[in-house]
Amino acid sequence: MKIGVVGASGYSGGELLRLLDNHPIFAASYIAAGTQAGSSITSVHSGLLSYSGRNFEATDVSKINACDLVFFALPHGESAKLIAEVKNEVKIVDLGADFRLSSAASWEKYYGGKHAGTWTYGLAELPGNREKISKARHVANPGCYATSISLASAPAIAAKIINAQDIVVVAASGTTGAGKKLSSSLMASEVMNSLSSYKFGGVHQHTPEIEEALAALNGGEVKISFTPILAPMPRGILTTVTSTLTNTSLTTTDVHKLYREFFQNEKFVTVLPEGQMPSTSSVLGCNYTQLQVAVDQHTNRLIVSCVLDNLGKGAASQAIQNANLMVSLPEETGIDSLGLGA
């Protein structure tokens, strides 16, 4: 298949190129990067030696329209401008936020500007989503934090064992989650040996996305209080989700069984054995997610720990998982390798 990658000079775009190089069906024939057009791909992504001799092309709608499927890896608000000119028959996976939300009011509050519309939400592990993705021509790839928090919360929400309006999240992400835009707060001398919160006070843009995804399981309103943390590492997310249990008799073993059964047929989600904690290094460079659960009987709260790679399951490999489903390939095609860590 003729595949395009628009926004290929960014971190997610580079990860897409790396993964597509090993995909048996998808070939990245059109590789565009607006600000880097004309530059060699290896001058930006030095590890992608198989792309030696190829340059980034300019963003050109006519070339996008010549593709079978296109990945858009652009900053939020940029995809919609281009996609309005793309033929409907071109299949698209958008890694940006432009089409994730169903609420125009939430888009305006958290992102600003006009809401572009709503596409099929590409988190296949949530009940009913896989079938919708398989039939879709346009899919909105979830945000990295949203993927982690939604997977950590979904089994408890679906089983109604927690108060869906009392979910507290603290999550730490590597610096690639902020993209390549120059910022003094992302300089190595500022980030190394330091942790800091950002978008403090419930203003992170993934908040409405998570609430919408989980509300579909709950059949009612979901509220989360989300505090993100910038961690001194390039990639990876560690999420801790706590919520009030509605049943005081539940034990860790009970909830662990519930989570195992919920994800028992999901290749890319692993509920670790009781007592084994997830680590970001274990999922580095792959599409896998690891979870652990515990019941804090002292406070009657459920605690869930979740890790994933923000450039993998949080972006590029999840986008390929969605694209596989959209063209009736096994969803693990080209992305079934394990993580690189211990």
301: which strand partners? 244, 296
Chain centroid, CA 263 distance in Å: 18
Identify the three-state secondary structure at position 175.
helix
Which residue pairs from 35-38 have beta carbons closer than 8 angstroms and sit at least 24 positions apart in sequence?
35/9, 36/9
Element (H, E) at 219: none
Residues in the chain: 342
Identify the three-state secondary structure at position 288.
coil
Strand arrangement, sheet containing 27-32 = 27-32, 2-6, 69-72, 91-94, 138-140, 120-121
**C-alpha to C-alpha distance for 251 and 302, rounded to whole angstroms:** 9
* 144 in active site: yes
Element (H, E) at 71: strand 69-72
Contact 49, 40 (CB under 8 A): no
Catalytic site residues?
144
